[in-house]
Amino acid sequence: MTDYFDFFNIPRAFNLDQQELRRKYISNSKASHPDFFTLENKDKQDAVLRMSTLNNEGYNILSDHRRLVQHILQLEGMMPEEGKAQVPGDFLIQMMDINERLMEAQMDPAAQGLQAIFNDLDQLEEELAHTAQCAKDQWDEDHSGSSLETVRDIFLKQQYLRRLRQQIKSGGSQL
């Protein structure tokens, strides 16, 4: 796996200086744009194309906060394999309650329950975002394992909530 922090020669951090990242991205783009190497041999053109691709991929990942968090978790060996992520049991109990309320709201569309569910989800997401930001700040400061575990757990919860919202928006009754 490519460490895009190393690629851009910037410190590994959740609260990344986006202006510095952009400056390095533009500098790399100018130095390795494939159009400037059209007269070079094939090996040189391929190498430049790989560098340009890494530059673009790295910038896209590090400039998207959700993907940046996932990238750090992967680099630190804290991201479980796809399909093997486990959120804490207390959170799953909370989600079971929300799913039951969603099914009730689907059976009785006249009830105002759906808006209350959205309000509860909004509040939960705000709480998670606040706790995650505190843990990210702490990890940026001291790179402690406990704060990174908190970031991972919250990231997994946020992923779960994102999928739940997508299912609700798509009218999925398979909740």
Return the pLDDT at 111.
Answer: 61
More confident of the two residues 170 and 9: 9
More confident of the two residues 174 and 100: 100
Classify residue 147 as exposed, middle or buried by CB count within 10 Å of its CB (0-12, 13-18, 19+). Answer: buried
Q: What's the number of CA atoms in the CB half-sphere (13 Å) around residue 42?
A: 0
Residue 154 has pLDDT above 80, yes or no: yes
More confident of the two residues 157 and 172: 157
- Does domain 4-75 fall under CATH 1.10.287.110? My reply is yes
Q: What is the DSSP string of 13-79?
A: -SS--HHHHHHHHHHHHHHS-GGGGTTS-HHHHHHHHHHHHHHHHHHHHHTSHHHHHHHHHHHTT-S
Return the pLDDT at 32.
Answer: 83
Return the pLDDT at 137.
Answer: 97
* Domain locations in the chain as residue ranges: 4-75, 89-169
Tens-digit pLDDT profile for residues 83-127 = 677 788 889 899 999 888 888 877 876 666 778 888 899 999 999
Q: How confident is the model at residue 173 (pLDDT cuts 50, 70, 90)?
A: very low
Question: Token digits for 74?
Answer: 């992967």
**Residue 154 identity (one-letter amino acid):** I
| Average pLDDT value for residue range 49-65 | 95
**Residue 47 identity (one-letter amino acid):** A
Neighbour tally for 72: CB within 10 Å:
26
Mean pLDDT of the chain, nearest integer: 88
Q: How confident is the model at residue 172 (pLDDT cuts 50, 70, 90)?
A: low
